[in-house]
Amino acid sequence: MKLPKSIKKLTDNIWEIPESYKAGMNVPVRIYASEKLITEMDEGVFGQISNVAALPGITGPAYCMPDGHWGYGFPIGGVAAFDPETGVISPGGIGFDINCGMRLIRTILTVDEVRSRIRDLVDKLFKRIPAGVGTTGFVVISRDEFREVVESGAQWCVKNGYGVEEDIDLTEEKGCVAGADASKVSASAIERGYRQIGTLGSGNHYLEIQVAKPVNIYDPKLAKTFGIDIPNQVCIMLHCGSRGFGHQVATDYLHTFLSVMGKKYDITTPDRELACAPFRSQEGQDYFAAMKCAINMSYVNRQVILHRVREVFSDVFHRDPADLGLHMIYDIAHNTAMLEKHIIDGTEREVLVHRKGATRAFGPGSTSLPAVYRNSGQPVIIGGSMETGSYLLAGLGSGEQTLFTTAHGSGRTMSRRQAKKLHNGKQLQHDLEERGIYIRTASYSALAEEVGEAYKNIDDVVAVTENTGISKRVVRFVPIGNIKG
């Protein structure tokens, strides 16, 4: 829309809003976008990311990724690091859906083997993986066991038969961030969460059957390292988060922060949606520990869904999951705040990095990566709309410029309401089936909201990340089946 007058074009794909743009800004803003993408961004993005630059203790530019759009407090695609001693933690910088993230699973099946059974496969996945608002899962545990689950993360899944060690190794943070403390989580969050393990959710959450066509392999060597080396290989990509549990944790602490921010800590923010607390305060540390529970819940959620995927594939293809090569490629969050070491003003420091609708993308050599990917860079999973395709990228050393962060998806360009006005869910399902994408959905109106037209072009988004060196293309996937919340 309307670009701020003072915005400066640093390169074809990097734009800067100077500190002078708005009173109170402590640092400049850097937006990663092509001319086309930045003019497509809603005006709110510039104001929102400039507000982030005004938060106390921010250690460098506030960043916005090319898929950025308007969100609660921070824009989606917003990235900001804070000094742990002088800075803040803000739920609006993480998102209500804490550890909303992506998981990518490979198979040794080809598109021909899968297409002939796609209806059966998608129908069974739809039946076995609860989707939609308010659904509960098949994992029956007590509230107290749930408290243990959110502290121990994906390892709980392996102990209880929902996965194998290899899955854990291929999950970011090995499926468990240290320091999760369930005593910092409210009873209502536990109540909402304890029956939601293994459920997909609603909105833009989905599970998709995809194909890696030979023409869409951009880096065969990296693709092979990530396990994509069969022509027209079928993969499964899923997008979901911490459900009502994470939502409640975010809501609880937003309220807490609003009540103490000004009165107790004398912090003012340009927008009350940026409610925050000093990271080192009791309230800040409590939220950090509770948020980590939601991060772990989400890793567990996606792990249990993987278990279900293995069961369904095994059932449909009458083969053992191991014979179908159902291995994880990676699992990565895009809504978190993490303490990480980065080079800030020339020296290595520990900072609290908020990523909201933005994906961590460590480069080759990072000790955070599993041994199998250590030399290749971190797999980055980018979900596109159900019509246009998705990407597997890899992190690069030059990602340091954005605290090793890249995009997370397409990013909306059209409001949900507008999408529903222009499209009918049932018709869309029919049209997509004619184009070779078989979809089951929990809600036809939710399906209409996710129409491809409502999203930015994923190829444009990925091109910016590659042109700026914050990640590189490895494989592009196209969908043939989808279950939607």
**Is 134 an interacting residue with respect to DNA (CB under 7 A)?**
yes
Separation between Cα atoms, residue 393 and residue 377, nearest integer Å: 9
> Token pair for residue 170?
């291929």
- Nearest distance, CB of residue 96 and DNA, angstroms: 4
Among 191, 229, 453, 459, binds DNA (CB under 7 A): 191
**Is 399 an interacting residue with respect to DNA (CB under 7 A)?**
no
Stretch that binds DNA, among 29-37, 119-127, 170-178, 196-204 (CB under 7 A): 196-204
Q: What is the DSSP letter of 2?
A: P
Does the active-site annotation cover 354? no
Q: Would you say 240 or 380 has its CB closer to DNA?
A: 240
The one-letter amino acid at 45:
V
Asked if residue 356 lies in contact with residue 73, where contact means CB atoms within 8 angstroms, the answer is no
- Nearest distance, CB of residue 288 and DNA, angstroms: 20
Q: What is the DSSP letter of 343?
A: E
Separation between Cα atoms, residue 86 and residue 265, nearest integer Å: 12
**Is 410 an interacting residue with respect to DNA (CB under 7 A)?**
no
Among 1, 133, 322, 422, binds DNA (CB under 7 A): 133
Among 248, 303, 376, 441, binds DNA (CB under 7 A): 248
**One symbol per residue from 68 to 97: x for binding DNA (CB under 7 A), - otherwise; what is it?**
----x-----------------------xx
Asked if residue 101 lies in contact with residue 76, where contact means CB atoms within 8 angstroms, the answer is no
Site for DNA in 441-460 (CB under 7 A): 443
String of DSSP letters for 422-485: H--HHHHHHHHHHTT-EEEES-HHHHHHT-GGGB--HHHHHHHHHHTTS-EEEEEEEEEEEEE-
**Is 485 an interacting residue with respect to DNA (CB under 7 A)?**
yes
Q: Would you say 115 or 243 has its CB closer to DNA?
A: 243
Site for DNA in 159-188 (CB under 7 A): 188
* Selected catalytic residue, list 239, 334, 354, 408: 408
Q: Would you say 93 or 227 has its CB closer to DNA?
A: 93
**Is 210 an interacting residue with respect to DNA (CB under 7 A)?**
no
- Nearest distance, CB of residue 69 and DNA, angstroms: 10
- Nearest distance, CB of residue 337 and DNA, angstroms: 17
Coil, strand, or helix at residue 113? helix
How many positions of this chain bind DNA (CB under 7 A)?
A: 23
Beta bridge partners of 394: 379, 472
**Is 44 an interacting residue with respect to DNA (CB under 7 A)?**
no
**282-317 vs 143-152: helix crossing angle, rounded to 10:** 100
213 in the Ramachandran plot: left (φ > 0), alpha (ψ -120 to 50) or beta?
Answer: beta
Site for DNA in 216-245 (CB under 7 A): 240-241, 243-244
| 139 membership: H or E segment, kind and range | none
**Is 100 an interacting residue with respect to DNA (CB under 7 A)?**
yes
Q: Distances in Å between the alpha carbon of 284 and those of 22, 153, 163, 290, 296?
A: 27, 22, 33, 10, 18
> Token pair for residue 160?
């209880």
Q: Would you say 94 or 380 has its CB closer to DNA?
A: 94
Separation between Cα atoms, residue 311 and residue 121, nearest integer Å: 11
Q: Would you say 1 or 133 has its CB closer to DNA?
A: 133
Catalytic residue ranges:
408
Binding site for DNA (CB under 7 A): 72, 96-97, 100, 133-134, 188, 191-192, 196, 201-205, 240-241, 243-244, 247-248, 443, 485
